[in-house]
Structure 1
Amino acid sequence: MKLKTLKLTLKSDRPVKEDAAKLRGFFATRFNEYVVAEAYPLKQGLKHEYALLHHHINVAEAHPLKQGLKHVDKLLYRYPRIQYKIIEGTAVVLGIEEGAEVLKEIYDKYDEIKLGDSVYTIVERGITLKEEEFGISSEILSYEFITPWIALSQNNHQRYLESKSDRGELLRRTLVGNILSASKGLDYVVLEEINLGIGRLREKKCKIKGTSFIGFIGKFIVNFVIPDYMGVGRSVSRGFGTIKRIKLCNS
């Protein structure tokens, strides 16, 4: 299938030292004035698509005990259409499908980004809009993780620690599952077997909302086309699991 992607690169006056979660927080705060009202889906002035920026919706629901509406923050349980990255000190935002359309609307509505206590002036914006393939390939393709891949849930974390001999297969199956999950979230039906091999992975300690996780940096091969800078695994909206295809030169 074809996916519309938009990669927004925000070059700042100095390298960004904060993590992608703070970049996500900047966009969530900057564009938080838009509300989704499920009770009044056609109400003028409300914009559902901006919820994609922070992967939550502020839903107006009828209050059971009081007259009027109450606002409830709800998580969007699907593959994130907007993903935030910090790559080599540069802020990068990837929009996929409708997420690409949102980024087209807002890419120039700010001249600086505030990440925690730091303020960065944007000196250059780069926009790359593409129609890219996603799905089963007749070729085996090589990829690398350019940000840590969060593979392990609380359930399989202990299994990973206890069994060194099964770690490789556990991670391989997990990555296949991550690709299947992303496919489902993007409405792509996988009709053929995913053949995947994992190379040597390097562990890296990561924190998400104050909780420690094991991340992995390394390479893998698979018969599946994945656009550059898309994420797989856990917390991809916060920049984890970002992949890039390794282009092989013909000798």
Structure 2
Amino acid sequence: MPQIRIVKVVFDTIIQDFEIPSFRGAVIETVGRSHVIFHNHLSDDKLHYKYPAIQYKREGNHASILCIKEGVEEIHHFFINNIGQVRIGNKHTALMVKNVSIQTCNFQVSDEFFTYQIKRWLPLHGENYEKYISLDGLVDQIAFLERVMVGNILSMAKGLDWFIEEAVSVKITSIIKSNWTYLKKKKVLSFDLIFKTNVFLPYGIGLGKSSSIGFGTIEKATIKKLAI
């Protein structure tokens, strides 16, 4: 059961969801591409497939950065170099810090279940999407999404050097909405839903594909829908 530090930095800059990749680019430009942890690309521009220790998000309407584990140690490179305006899309703005929060989380598998809401989760890509749409019936589709979620949790844990030996359980209780969105100019299906799991997950972290740019963010469950 690892203890992991998490730092959340919220800026006074207002952004939209579609501007998060531009916000990420602005931070990377400020820090410099030599700091791989900010962009997860190796020197030959190949992806470094590891759970992102620095995640770019919106907190309310504000640009924010979530730093996990080694990301906490690396964020000072941004503060050292953040001395002027940055470009986010077509606008230039100064990234002024609105607030900073620090917490230490005990990741664990429990005998009880925790309820979460996840927003803009991307469980379906490539073969996963083809398998999903081929399923006959909502029950089978929900079960498929639950298996993907288990895989996302295990992948997150492995990226944080936490190798879970216990069985991980996930139960999707409500699908709030599903939307088509664009990721790297391709249409992808995202989900907002409520689920239960026996794994403790701190609010704000991301699960699944493109969690580094705000997809699949874990939040407190505040929307109640009829259980599936």
CA separation of 1:112 and 1:228: change in aligned 2, threshold 3 A: farther
1:87 aligns with 2:87: no
Could you list the per-position Cα deviations for residues 27-65 of structure 1 after superposition, in whole angstroms to 9, with x for gaps in the alignment? Answer: 22222253xxxxxxxxxxxxxxx211111132xxxxxxx
In 1, distance between residues paired with 2:107 and 2:79? 25
Could you list the per-position Cα deviations for residues 57-116 of structure 1 after superposition, in whole angstroms to 9, with x for gaps in the alignment? Answer: 32xxxxxxxxxxxxx223211111111012332111011111111113423632544211
| Aligned residue number for residue 36 of structure 2 | 51
Name the count of aligned residue pairs: 216
Q: Percent identity at matched positions? A: 27
Q: TM-score, normalised by structure 2?
A: 0.87
Q: TM-score, normalised by structure 1?
A: 0.80
1:220 aligns with 2:195: yes
| Aligned residue number for residue 234 of structure 1 | 209
Q: How does 1:103-114 map to 2 (within 5 A)?
A: 103-107=75-79, 109-110=81-82, 111-114=84-87
Structure 2 gap ranges (5+): 223-228
In 2, distance between residues paired with 1:95 and 1:74? 22
| Aligned residue number for residue 135 of structure 1 | 108
Q: What's the CA shift for 1:138?
A: 2.8
1:211 aligns with 2:186: yes
Structure 1 gap ranges (5+): 35-49, 59-71
Q: How does 1:145-184 map to 2 (within 5 A)?
A: 145=118, 147-163=119-135, 164-165=137-138, 166-184=140-158
In 1, distance between residues paired with 2:126 and 2:96? 41
CA separation of 1:122 and 1:220: change in aligned 2, threshold 3 A: same
Flag the structure with larger Rg. 1
1:16 aligns with 2:15: yes
| Aligned residue number for residue 70 of structure 2 | 98
Structure 2 counterpart SS, 1:205:
strand
Could you list the per-position Cα deviations for residues 145-200 of structure 1 after superposition, in whole angstroms to 9, with x for gaps in the alignment? Answer: 1x300001210202222323311000011001100111111111111111211022
CA separation of 1:129 and 1:200: change in aligned 2, threshold 3 A: same
In 1, distance between residues paired with 2:33 and 2:207? 29
In 2, distance between residues paired with 1:109 and 1:24? 15
CA separation of 1:30 and 1:121: change in aligned 2, threshold 3 A: closer
* Cα contact 1:141–1:245 (8 A) shared by 2: no
In 1, distance between residues paired with 2:181 and 2:86? 24
| Aligned residue number for residue 43 of structure 1 | none
* Cα contact 1:19–1:86 (8 A) shared by 2: no
* Cα contact 1:135–1:188 (8 A) shared by 2: no
| Aligned residue number for residue 117 of structure 1 | 90
Structure 2 counterpart SS, 1:148:
strand
